[in-house]
Structure 1
């Protein structure tokens, strides 16, 4: 008969396992495991088998192992995990694409009934329609102020009703009604709470960013840097083009307001002295823009004349 390891030996084995994983992997998903059963967790392990390893455990043990690993290796990057080890959480060590691993984990959510006392993770709305319940069950609906009618010997809900709001506790009446209707409104699984990669910790929302999102955010950042640089008068790569343009505008304003002139300002001064030049310069552009419209109008007019001529010929033949 095999001798069971002692509590101290179990802790030492856990420390060894976690430290080994931290040596092997540089990417970790910190996941919440509330209401996740052992069978469900086993299915997730099988689905991630290959590039990823799931490690569960008590928070105190995980924090202890992380500190021991930092002291042994001198790698303090993993210490940023310690503030994240709060509540019922686990660690998914992976070498795969973080987005793909997160999506794979999300596939293993299972439906769950609304048990009494649970905090609703989502709004629960009872849709209208036939419930299949006999008229003796109307008391459940009356207690919850759900409008019903009897249709063909069964209870029918008339309008959709928000039975439970997100964040509220599930009451006994709500739980009993949903159970009778066969509704399992909640779904539970491992939920990615934070992402660790090479010493950096960030929100899982980052995994959903597309290239277009990154371009928009980068452009917004460049705009902010440019605005700040211009305001402070501090030249940066983003602000220098704007500074040159603003400086040119200032120089042009001075040239226009004074007798001072230079080559680029002479043409502007000529236009100011003789505004008719604007009309002359704009005429070719306007003509080019209106040419297609004029051609289309002439074509339409010609077609109408041809139609009128044909009409006259027909009337002449049968007069």
Structure 2
């Protein structure tokens, strides 16, 4: 390390101070800032993720101690993220809302092979069916890891869906090789959001994991219920005003007809109402209009 890089400002080496300053600038640039887990993501794939995020979010990787210093330096609630700065992590910043950020990160995750020694995130299942692999030692490998397999019709077949590892268990070298041979990728690789701070609120991933379509449907149902309630209560708004006026006009017309109020706008209704009893008597006297023309009717 050069003499210049050894210079310190207070108790922090100058290069670290500069790095912290850059992280602080990064944090101040965005409305929403979160901590993401980057464990197990190959560097090439990490670069691809940076490119995919370009324009909507930005990723910053640094030493955990320096990230923590920057978060504590800014305060404004961001220091609450420090407890999530552990292991292989990075910072992510966006001017989008945290719900949009979470959805984007989840959508960007891709299936990946699982290596020996890793922990299975979910149950690992080898599906039943023809593997397309010619008879050979591989049938024994399948049986060794717990799959119900046999040779049938000139190929190796898995008789039924076989759960070969439970979530939380460690993957063996044998199982990793079998899964690789079958092309099974039982894990997802991507940026896991640990927590995000936005507008003074700290969000956990579980709070951001919402069904957007269901949420929209709930909003539409609530709006419809509110609209109906407003009309029933006679509460005028820009949306309910025309409906209330139409109802009031209808009610006023009904009262006017019932009270036989003479008005040009009610003339037709009053005549129709007055003629209704006579029209009924005529129908009873004459029968249906086509009664005389019905086959077999008396002359």
Unmatched runs of 5 consecutive residues or more in structure 2: 7-12, 222-294
Question: 1:185-224 maps to which residues of 2 (within 5 A)?
Answer: 185-209=186-210, 210=215
Whether the 8 Å contact between 2:112 and 2:187 is mirrored in structure 1 is yes
The alignment partner of 2:136 has SS state of helix
SS at match of 2:132: coil
Cα distance in 1 for partners of 2:197, 2:26 equals: 14
**What does 1:143-162 correspond to in 2, within 5 Å?**
143-162=144-163
1:156-190 Cα distance to aligned partner (Å, 9 max, x none): 11111001111100012211211222222222110
| SS class of match (1:177) | helix
Match of 1:134 in 2: 134
Equivalent residue in structure 2 for 1:54, among 53, 59, 70: 59
Give the 3 Å change call, closer, same or farther, for CA 52–154 of structure 1 in structure 2: same
Partner of 2:19: 14
User: 5 Å matches for 1:39-188?
Assistant: 39-67=44-72, 69-70=73-74, 75-137=75-137, 138-188=139-189
Q: Relative to 1, partners in 2 of residues 1:51 and 1:150: Cα closer, same or farther, differing over 3 Å?
A: closer
Secondary structure of the 1:136 match is: coil
- The CA deviation string for residues 241-277 of structure 1, in whole angstroms up to 9 with x for no partner, is xxxxxxxxxxxxxxxxxxxxxxxxxxxxxxxxxxxxx
Q: How far apart are 1:33 and its partner, in Å? A: 1.1
Q: Give TM-score, length-normalised by structure 1.
A: 0.59
Distance in 2 (CA, whole Å) between partners of 1:50 and 1:5 is 36
Cα pair 2:119 2:168 within 8 Å, conserved: yes
In the alignment, is residue 38 of structure 1 matched against residue 43 of structure 2?
Answer: yes
SS in 1 for 2:179: helix
Pair 4,184 (structure 1): closer, same or farther in 2 beyond 3 Å: farther
Task: Select between 173-182 and 113-122 the one with higher mean Cα deviation.
Answer: 173-182
Report how many residues are paired: 213
In 1, distance between residues paired with 2:31 and 2:181? 48
Structure 1 runs not aligned, ≥5 long: 217-309, 314-319
CA drift at 1:106: 2.3
Deviation sequence 1:67-124 (CA, Å, 0-9, x none): 3x24xxxx44222121121222211111123222222222332332221110011211
Normalised to the residue count of structure 2, the TM-score between the two structures is 0.63
Measured at CA, do residues 25 and 164 of structure 1 come closer, stay the same or move farther in structure 2, by a change above 3 Å? Answer: same
Aligned-residue CA RMSD (Å): 2.9
Q: Secondary structure in 2 aligned to 1:119?
A: coil
**Greater helix percent: which structure?**
1
Inter-partner Cα distance in structure 2 for 1:140 and 1:172 = 11
Take 1:49 and 1:146, find their aligned partners in 2: how far apart are those partners?
43
Instruction: Indicate the SS of the match to 1:173.
Output: helix
- CA shift at 1:206, angstroms? 2.6
Q: Could you say if the C-alpha distance between residues 106 and 208 of structure 1 is closer, same or farther in structure 2, counting changes exceeding 3 Å?
A: closer
Q: Is the 8 Å Cα contact of residues 194 and 202 (structure 1) preserved in structure 2?
A: yes
